[in-house]
Homo-oligomer: A and B are copies of this chain.
Amino acid sequence: MILEIADIRIAPGRQAEFEAALQRGLDEVAVRARGFRGAKVNRGVESPERYVLQIFWATLEDHTVGFRQGPLFAQWRALVGPFFAAPPVVEHFELVTQVQAGPAP
């Protein structure tokens, strides 16, 4: 499993519209991509125009080749692209470790 992290900055004041577009893009476009395994969207507290989008893919190529070079990408960008204040910064990651909290003291 590969994690795509997209660091996104949108135009000020357009959070509600962007979140609706992103939800639609995930529900109607990304879920149809081969290797799509799920997504999380987080909005910045200190930077309310900043979003971190995490998408889990079965393989790196499911994102870089299958999705980006396939027919779904134009649909995705048409939905979410109009809100970008700058090109998103996108890289891929591997999970190193995860830690769960113990029982509350």
Chain A residues with a Cβ under 8 A of chain B: 2-3, 5, 19, 22-23, 26-27, 30-31, 34, 36-47, 50-52, 56, 60, 91-102, 105
Complex Cα spacing A39 to B26, Å: 25
**Minimum CB–CB distance for A47 against chain B, Å:** 6
Given the interface contacts A47-B91, A91-B50, does A42 sit within 8 Å of B102 by beta carbon? no
Complex Cα spacing A37 to B41, Å: 18
Q: A36-B101, A40-B99 are in contact. List 20 more A-B contacts (CB 8 A).
A: A19-B97, A22-B97, A23-B97, A26-B97, A31-B102, A34-B105, A38-B98, A38-B100, A38-B101, A39-B99, A41-B96, A41-B97, A42-B94, A43-B93, A43-B94, A44-B91, A45-B94, A46-B91, A47-B91, A56-B101
